[in-house]
Amino acid sequence: MNDFDTFWHEAKAALRVALQWFFLAVPMGLLCGLLGTLFPPCCRARDRTARRAALAAVPLARGGSTHHRPL
């Protein structure tokens, strides 16, 4: 193989790897962006007050204590 053939062989391999990363990164970016967009409306004050039972159970999930303790 001469240098020109070696160059094209390596260029094709590099392009293949770049496209693999591209097709992995784009769907992951869209998914993370969608979840980041949908998360803040779930945390609005009216939603928090509507779910008082769930918020009351949070201290139980931390071990039953309602006072602050370091993690």
pLDDT score at 48: 61
Distance, in Å, from the CA atom of 6 to the CA atom of 50, rounded to the nearest integer, reads 65
pLDDT score at 5: 85
CB–CB of 48/55 below 8 Å? yes
pTM of the model: 0.48
Place of tokens 């006072």: 67
CB–CB of 17/10 below 8 Å? no
pLDDT tens track for 8-55: 999 999 999 999 999 999 999 999 888 888 777 666 656 666 677 666
The SS3 of residue 66 is: coil
Taking 3-state DSSP, the helix, strand and coil percentages for the chain, each rounded to the nearest 5, stand at: 75, 0, 25
